[in-house]
Amino acid sequence: MNISGFGILIIDDEPNIRSGLVKGLARDADVIDTAEDAESGLVKFQDGHYQLVIADVRLPGEMDGLELVEKILRSHPQTTVIVITAHGTVETAVRSMRLGAFDFITKPLDLDLIRHQVRKAREHHRLQIENRELRSRLVNAGEISNIIGNCAAMHDVFEQIRQVAVTDATILIQGESGTGKELVARAVHDLSDQSSGPFVAVNLGAMPETLLESELFGHEKGSFSGATRQKPGCFEQAKGGTLFLDEVTEMPAKSQIDLLRVLETQQFIRVGGEEVLNSDARIISATNKTVEPLIEDGTFREDLFYRLNVIPLHIPALRERRDDIPLLIDHFLTHFCQRHHRPVKQVSTEAMQILFAARWPGNVRQLKNVIERLVVTLQGELIETSDLPAELNPSTRLGMSAVKTLAEVTEEAEKTAITAALASSDYHREKTAKLLGVSVRTLHYKMSRYGLH
């Protein structure tokens, strides 16, 4: 039974094994190609389209089979790899599985066993395709990984998630606090080929500087006071998956250098250790700050920013996607009424108008917390204006309706200043940047953020 789009690459230096596997597996794949050493096998793999690689551990040339497996899975982690060994040692098996191999088999080869493993690999490939299609349909429906949105701005975000998820490039997510940056990172992970691997999130802003290196890279037993055992760090825990670095701009200078080194070499060493470990985790970072001013004042490394910002994603504030507020409210009401075993509640028209017009400086997180509070504390089934928190209800804010948040004031002032400077300099960007006392890069970022073209 042929499976459309399923290709196998067999890498072994013994011609009889290559020809025997080609004949024995002919019904289990659309395409079967072979190579006699790791170097030619890697070239063929990179030029072709193979879902399964069967490779011998001992191969002629400078590269052995395990090194080949590592290179294949680092560049294409969705590929299924079966390792062949004539020695069948526990050490070889453990090393191959740690690298991400699907399974290993020993020589002399049992063709029935190999066919069984190939069928398992084929089924794994089919499930991967079905999962990606299902997640893609959820994106198109306006919801993925608990991200709710149906406005134009969120459809743009969903489209970017779909485009970047299939790559392994590093991503920097920018947006105000409470906009859902971690949810976006999880959505990218869920739609990626690393979705079967772990998703590890670490908040760098909440981490004491003295513990940050150990948290990221792990430590050996006895490496410092209190290190009573070996502990893997976040880079090890995220092997084969995604590492999400939240509040990345809060990292101290030394940690920025350490992170840059890992991004450049894909290698690290545990605190107190000597063994060089490889990192294949995809890096997604996030910040609620504008990075360019931090680069200009020297608190954040420019070279690290370029490494992290290969693909930028901007998450709009809730005030920039007000059309989604009723949708979000309905979602949170249903969720929290079920969670807290409360009867289904509704929002009156007047209360909905107030919720729709509120500034929401805490964004979706603030809206979520408000709805949960109302679900838990109110006995009735209809949420009225008098039930809303004082900071939202204009009838109880004692004239606070005219007060704006600092973020809103800053945003309006920046937009006004940039617009005026552009007009006075005949829309010459270098002259405009000089007038404003900022770099051209910062000006470009601000213009893009505020939609000034």
- Amino acid 400: pLDDT: 44
Same domain, 410 and 438: yes
Closest CA to 287 of 453, 445, 451: 445
Q: What is the pLDDT of residue 29?
A: 87
Give residue 445's pLDDT. Answer: 76
pLDDT reported for residue 450: 73
Highest mean pLDDT pick, 151-155, 222-226, 321-325? 321-325
Provide the pLDDT confidence category of residue 429 given band limits of 50, 70 and 90. confident
Q: In what order do the strands lie in the sheet with 171-174?
A: 199-203, 242-246, 282-287, 171-174, 311-314
CA distance 284 to 204: 13
- Within this chain, do residues 146 and 294 fall inside the same structural domain, yes or no? yes
Specify the number of domains making up the chain.
4
pLDDT value at 134 more than 60: no
Q: Once rounded to an integer, what is the mean pLDDT over residues 201-207?
A: 88
- Sorted by sequence, the CB contacts under 8 Å of residue 236 that are 6+ apart come out as 218, 277
Quickly list H helices, 287-362: 291-296, 302-308, 325-339, 349-357
**281 shares a domain with 234:** yes
Of 316, 342, 358, the residue that ends a domain is 316
CA angle 118, 120, 126 (to 5 degrees): 105
We report the CATH number of the domain holding residue 187 as 3.40.50.300
Rounded-to-integer distance, Cα 284 and Cα 412, Å = 30
Q: Determine the pLDDT at residue 182.
A: 94
- Across 95-104, average pLDDT: 79
Average pLDDT over residues 3-27: 87
Q: How far is residue 169's CA from residue 180's CA, in Å, rounded to a whole number?
A: 20
User: Which residues, listed in sequence order, are joined to residue 286 by a DSSP beta bridge?
Assistant: 173
316 pLDDT above the threshold of 90: yes
- State the pLDDT at residue 399: 44
Is residue 1 assigned to a domain?
no
Residue 79 or 369, more confident? 369
Enclosing domain of residue 344: 319-402
One domain, residues 353 and 438: no
- 97-106, 139-148, 393-402: least confident range: 393-402
Residues 386-411: tens digit of each pLDDT? 999 888 865 554 444 455 666 677 77
* Any domain includes 2: no
C-alpha to C-alpha distance for 393 and 385, rounded to whole angstroms: 7
What is the distance between the alpha carbons of residues 379 and 335, in angstroms, rounded to a whole number?
17
Residues 95, 41 share a domain? yes
More confident call, 155 vs 453: 155
CB of 251 closer than 8 Å to CB of 212: yes
CA geometry: angle at 263 spanning 261 and 267, to 5°?
70
Is 161 in the same domain as 308?
yes
Is the pLDDT score of 131 beyond 70? no
Percent of the chain with pLDDT over 90: 38
Question: Cα(48)–Cα(304) distance, rounded to whole angstroms?
Answer: 33
Do 146 and 260 have their domain in common? yes
Q: What percent of the chain has pLDDT over 70?
A: 90
Q: CB under 8 Å to 130, separation ≥6 — which residues?
A: none
Report whether pLDDT(438) > 50: yes
Q: Indicate which CATH number applies to the domain containing 382.
A: 1.10.8.60
Residue type, 235: F
Checking if the pLDDT of 34 tops 90, the result is yes
Whether the predicted pLDDT of 77 surpasses 80: no
Which pLDDT band holds residue 48 (cuts at 50, 70, 90)? confident
Check: CB of residue 57 under 8 Å from CB of residue 85: yes
Q: Indicate the burial class of 250 (C-beta count within 10 angstroms; 0-12, 13-18, 19 or more).
A: buried
| Average pLDDT along the chain | 85
Are 246 and 312 contained in the same domain?
Answer: yes
Mean pLDDT of 133-149: 59
CB distance 188 to 135 below 8 Å: no
Q: Which of 108, 132, 156 is the last residue of a domain?
A: 132
Q: How much is the pLDDT for 413? A: 80
Domain boundary among 316, 337, 355: 316
340 and 311 assigned to the same domain: no
Model confidence at 173, pLDDT cuts 50, 70, 90, reads very high
**Model confidence at 347: pLDDT above 80:** yes
Query: Residue 12 and residue 14: Cα distance in Å, rounded?
Result: 6
Rounded to an integer, what distance in angstroms lies between the CA atom of residue 319 and that of residue 331? 18
pLDDT of amino acid 211? 85
Sequence-distant contacts of 296-303: CB under 8 A, at least 24 apart: 296/438, 296/439, 296/442, 299/249, 300/249, 300/251, 300/256, 301/253, 301/256, 301/257, 301/260, 303/260
Whether the per-residue pLDDT at 2 is higher than 60: the answer is no
Q: How confident is the model at residue 221 (pLDDT cuts 50, 70, 90)?
A: confident
439: domain CATH number? 1.10.10
Residues 55 and 185 in one domain: no
Instruction: Check whether residue 281 and residue 158 sit in a common domain.
Output: yes
Q: Give the tens place of pLDDT for each residue, 240-286.
A: 899 999 999 999 999 999 999 999 998 999 988 888 888 889 999 99
What would the pLDDT profile of 174-192 be if each residue is shown by its tens digit?
999 999 999 999 999 988 8
Determine the average pLDDT of the residues in 231-243.
Answer: 91
Check: CB of residue 21 under 8 Å from CB of residue 14: no
Task: Mark whether 180 and 302 lie in a shared domain.
Answer: yes
CATH number for the domain harbouring residue 118? 3.40.50.2300
What pLDDT is stored for residue 153 in this prediction?
A: 86
Higher pLDDT, 63 or 137: 63
Residue 403, pLDDT score: 57
- Answer yes or no: is 68 within a domain: yes
